[in-house]
Amino acid sequence: MINALKQDCKRLSELPLVELHVEQNDQTVWDRLIYVEEKIATSGNKHDEQLAVVDSRTPRADFPQLIQGYLSPEDKNKDLDKLEPESKRRSIGLYLVLLMDNIPRIEMDVWVDFGFCTCKNQAMEAELGRVYRALIDQCTLYEFYKNYEGKSLEVLIRSKNIANADYLKSSGVVFGNPSKSVYYLKHLLGIGCAFIFIIILIIYRQCRTITTLLILNSIIAGFIVNVMYVYQVISQLTSDGNDKLCILRGFLLQSGCGLLYHTLCVQALYRFFATIPKRQQYLQSKYTITFIVLVQWFISITFNLPILIDGRIKFQVNYRVCQVLMQDLYGFLYLSIWIYFFPLIIIIGIYTRLLIYIKQNPYRLIIHQNIFKRQRQKYEFHIFRHIIILIIILIIMQFPNLLVFFIIQLTDIIISNYIQRICFMSISFGQNITMFICLIDNHQIRKCFKK
313-372 residue pLDDT tens: 888 766 667 888 877 888 888 988 898 888 888 888 887 887 777 677 655 554 444 544
Residue 164 has pLDDT above 50, yes or no: yes
pLDDT value at residue 19: 35
pLDDT value at residue 295: 92
Residue, of 3 and 258, whose pLDDT is higher:
258
- Minimum mean pLDDT range among 27-36, 66-75, 159-168: 27-36
Cut 0.75: pTM above it: no
- Alpha carbon distances (Å) from 189 to 68, 131, 174, 262, 385: 43, 35, 25, 21, 22
Mean per-residue pLDDT for 104-108? 69
Handedness of CA 121, 332, 265, 212 (dihedral sign): negative
Give the 3-state secondary structure of 6-73: HHHHHHCCCCECCEEECCCCCCCCCCCCEEEECCHHHCCCHHHHCCEEECCCCCCCCHHHHHHHHCCC
Q: What are phi and psi of 323, to 5 degrees?
A: -165, 175
Q: How confident is the model at residue 223 (pLDDT cuts 50, 70, 90)?
A: confident
pLDDT value at residue 240: 60
Residue 451 CA neighbour count, 13 Å, CB half: 11
- Minimum mean pLDDT range among 17-21, 81-85, 168-172: 17-21
pLDDT value at residue 382: 62
Using only C-alpha atoms, the chain has a radius of gyration, in whole angstroms, of: 27
pLDDT value at residue 48: 37
pLDDT value at residue 294: 92
Residue, of 126 and 101, whose pLDDT is higher:
126
Mean per-residue pLDDT for 419-447? 68
Mean per-residue pLDDT for 414-418? 67
Q: What are phi and psi of 311, to 5 degrees?
A: 70, 30
**Burial tier of 206 (Cβ tally within 10 Å: 0-12, 13-18, 19+):** exposed
The share of the chain scoring above pLDDT 70, in percent, equals 60
Residue, of 20 and 233, whose pLDDT is higher:
233
- Minimum mean pLDDT range among 69-78, 170-179, 301-310: 170-179
Domains of the chain: 2-179 (no CATH), 185-450 (1.20.1070.10)
Q: How confident is the model at residue 305 (pLDDT cuts 50, 70, 90)?
A: very high
Max mean pLDDT among 37-41, 82-86, 121-125, 378-382 falls in 121-125
Residue, of 446 and 297, whose pLDDT is higher:
297
Residue 158 has pLDDT above 80, yes or no: yes
Q: How confident is the model at residue 302 (pLDDT cuts 50, 70, 90)?
A: very high
